[in-house]
């Protein structure tokens, strides 16, 4: 009987534990993409998210937004996704107030712009570019944080997926990664941190950066300083693999190898996010952990 239940509910034990992480050739990747192609006749987004306070903090100062839907357009239903992570700055009062206000403000502004394409609600027709909307979102977040939680700060990293493009707005040291099916994990944002800057200038190595005592010092954050210049850029959504947003409670704690294993070996995106959170906590969980994984199917 137990055997029978095991058969029914146990995960298949053929989980490949010898998954090769050597880079695939472009040809192999292409063939993987092609075999995935016919399964979905419509492009669609799939997303998962995970959060944890971690093992050493008492409060969760991270905030997270994950919305996945489609928009009606003249070329059919268009994948639409809005994903934001904000990491309220430790050592500041009201870190969680700042991260939360930033996300609510930016999310509200962006969704408001897309109202007419999503719901039948009276909204002004959009006459701005996607990058202009993202910039407006960051600026609004900046204003609200300075007003509601003066003296505090937060990172803010947002990804807006529309069709096959993803537009990123980014301030601070939360990160966006592309996780490839062959195991490569590539950050596509640049941290606005002192240590990262030193690393870019060739002053310290990445090994030194990982253990640098000042690795948490940001030179750009929401709520800090008057002139805020976010990084805003648009790139093609990764055709295969995943887009990952996370706070430094994840990337600062586990290696890129751990990330690719946790993501690629999981049966679902939600499970992958849980694996990532667990891995960070197992490694000590020194900080709040937030992660979002997004995949384009079809």
Partner 1 sequence: MILETQNVDEPLDSEEETSTARRQLRAGTTLANRYHIQEVIGVGGMGSVYRARDLHFPNVVKLVAVKEMINLAPDPLVRRTIVQNFEREANILATLNHRSIPRIYDYFSEEDKSYLVLEFINGKDLEAIIAEAEGFLPEDEVLAWAIELCDVLHFLHTHKPDPIIFRDMKPSNAMINQYGNVVLVDFGIAKPFQVGQKGTMIGTEGYSPPEQYRGEATPLADIYALGATLHHALTKRDPRLEPPFSFAERPLRKINPDISGEFEAAINTALQYNPEDRYASALEMKEALLAVARKTGALSRLPTHTTAAMQSNAIKPIWAFQCEDEIRGTPAIHDGNLFIGSYDNNLYALDASNGEFKWKYATDGGIVSRPLVYDNNVYFGSEDNRLHVVSARSGKVTWTYYTKGRIRSSPRLAEGHVFIGSDDNYLHAVNITSGRAAWIFEASSSIRSTPFVAQDLVYTGCESGDFYCIGFQGELKWRFQAKRAVTSSPWVADNVVYFTSLDSTFYALDAQTGWVIWRARLGKGSISSPALVDNLLFVGAADGNIYAIEAHTSKEIWRFRTEHQVSSSPVIYRDSLYCGSVDGFLYCLEYTTGRLRWKFATEGPITGSPLVFDDIVYIGSTDHHIYALLA
Q: How far apart are CA 9 and CA 12, in angstroms?
A: 9
Measured distance CA(169)–CA(156) in Å, rounded: 8
Q: To the nearest whole angstrom, how small is the minimum distance from the Cβ of residue 134 to partner 1? A: 10
Residue 272 C-beta: closest distance to partner 1, Å: 26
Does residue 99 sit in helix, strand or coil? helix
Residue 6 vs 190, nearer CB to partner 1: 190
| Contact residues for partner 1, defined by CB under 8 A | 73-75, 78, 128-132, 162-165, 167, 201-203, 231-236
Q: Give me the sheet containing 156-162, strands edge to edge.
A: 62-73, 76-87, 156-162, 165-171, 231-236
Q: How far is the CB of 126 from partner 1 (least distance, A)?
A: 8
DSSP 243: E
CB of 284 to partner 1, least distance (A): 32
Q: What phi and psi, each to the nearest 5 degrees, are found at residue 59?
A: -120, 150
Q: Indicate the SS3 state at residue 88.
A: strand
Q: Which is nearer to partner 1, 38 or 202 (CB)?
A: 202
Find the shortest distance in angstroms from Cβ 233 to partner 1: 4
Ramachandran angles phi, psi of 37, nearest 5°: -50, -60
Comparing CB distances to partner 1, the nearer of 30 and 128 is 128
Nearer residue to partner 1 within complex by CB, 147 or 164: 164
* Residue (67 or 283) nearer to partner 1, CB: 67
- In whole angstroms, give the CA distance from residue 154 to residue 96: 8
The residues, ordered by sequence, that sit 6+ positions from 109 with a Cβ below 8 Å of its Cβ are: 133, 136, 137, 140
Of 203 and 255, the one with the shorter C-beta distance to partner 1 is: 203
Nearer to partner 1, 162 or 277 (CB): 162
CA 14 to chain centre: 30
Q: Is 291 left (phi over 0), alpha (psi -120 to 50) or beta?
A: beta
Q: In the complex, what is the shortest distance from the CB of residue 236 to partner 1, in angstroms, rounded to a whole number?
A: 5
Q: Compute the least distance from the CB of residue 202 to partner 1, in Å.
A: 6
């Amino acid at each position: 009987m137990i055997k029978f239940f095991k058969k029914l509910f146990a995960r298949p034990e053929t989980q490949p534990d010898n998954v090769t992480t050597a880079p695939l050739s472009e040809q192999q990747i292409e063939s993987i993409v092609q075999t995935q192609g016919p399964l979905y006749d419509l492009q669609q987004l799939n997303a998962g998210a995970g959060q944890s306070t971690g093992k050493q903090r008492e409060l969760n100062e991270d905030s997270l937004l994950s919305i996945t839907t489609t928009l009606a357009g003249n070329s059919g239903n268009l994948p639409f996704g809005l994903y934001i992570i904000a990491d309220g700055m430790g050592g500041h009062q009201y870190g969680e107030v700042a991260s939360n206000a930033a996300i609510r403000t930016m999310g509200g502004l962006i969704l408001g712009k897309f109202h007419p394409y999503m719901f039948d609600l009276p909204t002004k027709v959009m006459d701005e570019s996607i990058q202009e909307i993202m910039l407006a979102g960051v600026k609004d977040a900046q204003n609200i944080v300075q007003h509601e939680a003066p003296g505090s700060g937060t990172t803010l990293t947002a990804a807006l997926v529309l069709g096959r493009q993803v537009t990123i707005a980014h301030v601070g040291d939360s990160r966006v990664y592309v996780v490839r099916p062959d195991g490569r994990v590539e950050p596509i944002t640049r941290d606005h941190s002192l240590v990262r800057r030193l690393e870019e200038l060739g002053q310290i190595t990445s090994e030194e950066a990982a253990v640098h005592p000042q690795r948490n010092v940001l030179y750009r954050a929401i709520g800090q300083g008057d002139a805020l210049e976010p990084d805003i850029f648009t790139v093609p959504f990764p055709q295969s693999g995943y887009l990952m947003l996370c706070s430094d409670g994840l990337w600062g704690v586990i290696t890129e190898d751990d990330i690719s294993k946790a993501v690629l070996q999981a049966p679902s995106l939600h499970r992958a996010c849980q694996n990532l959170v667990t891995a960070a906590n197992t490694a000590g969980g020194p900080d709040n952990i937030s992660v979002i994984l997004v995949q384009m199917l079809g």
